[in-house]
C-alpha cells in the first residue's frame, strides 16, 4: 500500500471521529434546549437552571471541537440561543445581548427569531391565566426582535433560513396581535 494513502486514511479517520463527536454533542445540546424550553413554559425554575447550565457547558465543549464542522453544530448553537434567550426574556422582560449569550452573530439572529414562537406560546399561557399585562410584555419582545431584523436581507447561503424565520416570526406576531385584540373585547 502507498504510504501517503495510509497517512490520508489515518487523517480522515481522525476527522470522522471528530465529526461524530460534534454530531453527538450537537444532538444532545438540541435535546437539552428542548427540555429547557419545556421547563421554562412549565415554570419549573429548578430544572431550568440545571438544564441551562448543562446547555452552556455543552456549547463550550462544542466550541473546542467543532473547528471545520461548524455547519454540523449550527443548529445546536441556535437552539442554545433560543432557550437561553427565552429564559432571560421571560424572567427579565428584555432581550439578552449576543455577548451575554457568548455566541456568534448568525446563531444569535436565528436563535432569537426562533424564540419569537416560544414567546407567542408563553403569551398564550398568560392569556389563559387572564394576565394580559405579561402577555403584552411577550408581544413587545417579539416585536423588538422582529423589528430589529426587518431591514436585513441576506442570501440563504450566508444566513440559512433567515428570511423564512423572519416570515414565520411576522406571522406569529400578527396572530398574537389578533388574540390580544380579541382578549380586550
Q: Say whether 94 sits in a helix, a strand or coil.
A: coil
**DSSP result, 105-169:** HHHHHHHHHHHHHHHHHHHHHHHHTT-HHHHHHHHHHHHHHHHHHTT----TTTSTTHHHHHHHH
Share of the chain above pLDDT 90, in %: 89
Cβ-contact 173, 143 below 8 angstroms: yes
pLDDT tops 60 at residue 95:
yes
Residue 96: how many CB atoms within 10 A of its CB?
19
The mean per-residue pLDDT over the stretch 83-105 comes to 97
Cβ-contact 101, 84 below 8 angstroms: yes
Chain mean pLDDT for the chain: 94
Q: What would you measure as the largest C-alpha separation in the chain, in angstroms? A: 80
Going from N- to C-terminal start, the domains of the chain cover: 3-184
The predicted-structure confidence for 34-64, as pLDDT tens digits, reads as follows: 999 999 999 999 999 999 999 999 999 999 9
- The hierarchical CATH code for the domain 3-184 is 1.20.58.2140
- Residue 2 pLDDT: 80
The predicted-structure confidence for 154-180, as pLDDT tens digits, reads as follows: 888 889 999 999 999 999 999 999 888
For residue 184, name the pLDDT band (cuts at 50, 70, 90): low
What's the DSSP call for residue 96? Answer: P
Distance CA 157, CA 105 (A): 15
Distance CA 142, CA 117 (A): 8
The mean per-residue pLDDT over the stretch 70-89 comes to 96
- Residue 1 pLDDT: 63
**DSSP result, 39-91:** HHHHT-HHHHHHHHHHHHHHHHHHHHH-TT-HHHHHHHHHHHHHHHHHHHHHH
pLDDT tops 60 at residue 185:
no
- Residue 181 pLDDT: 81
Q: Say whether 33 sits in a helix, a strand or coil.
A: helix
Amino acid at each position: 500500500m502507498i504510504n501517503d494513502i495510509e497517512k490520508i486514511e489515518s487523517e480522515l479517520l481522525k476527522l470522522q471521529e471528530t465529526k461524530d463527536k460534534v454530531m453527538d454533542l450537537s444532538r444532545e445540546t438540541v435535546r437539552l434546549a428542548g427540555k429547557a424550553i419545556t421547563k421554562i413554559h412549565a415554570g419549573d425554575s429548578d430544572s431550568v437552571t440545571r438544564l441551562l447550565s448543562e446547555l452552556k457547558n455543552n456549547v463550550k465543549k462544542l466550541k473546542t471541537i467543532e473547528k471545520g464542522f461548524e455547519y454540523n453544530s449550527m443548529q445546536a448553537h441556535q437552539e442554545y440561543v433560543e432557550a437561553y434567550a427565552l429564559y432571560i426574556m421571560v424572567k427579565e422582560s428584555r432581550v439578552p445581548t449576543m455577548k451575554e449569550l457568548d455566541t456568534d452573530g448568525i446563531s444569535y439572529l436565528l436563535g432569537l427569531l426562533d424564540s419569537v414562537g416560544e414567546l407567542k406560546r408563553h403569551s398564550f399561557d398568560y392569556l389563559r391565566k387572564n394576565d394580559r399585562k405579561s402577555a403584552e410584555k411577550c408581544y413587545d419582545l417579539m416585536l423588538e426582535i422582529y423589528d430589529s431584523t426587518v431591514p436585513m436581507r441576506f442570501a440563504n447561503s450566508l444566513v440559512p433560513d433567515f428570511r423564512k424565520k423572519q416570515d414565520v416570526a411576522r406571522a406569529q406576531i400578527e396572530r398574537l396581535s389578533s388574540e390580544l385584540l380579541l382578549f380586550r373585547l
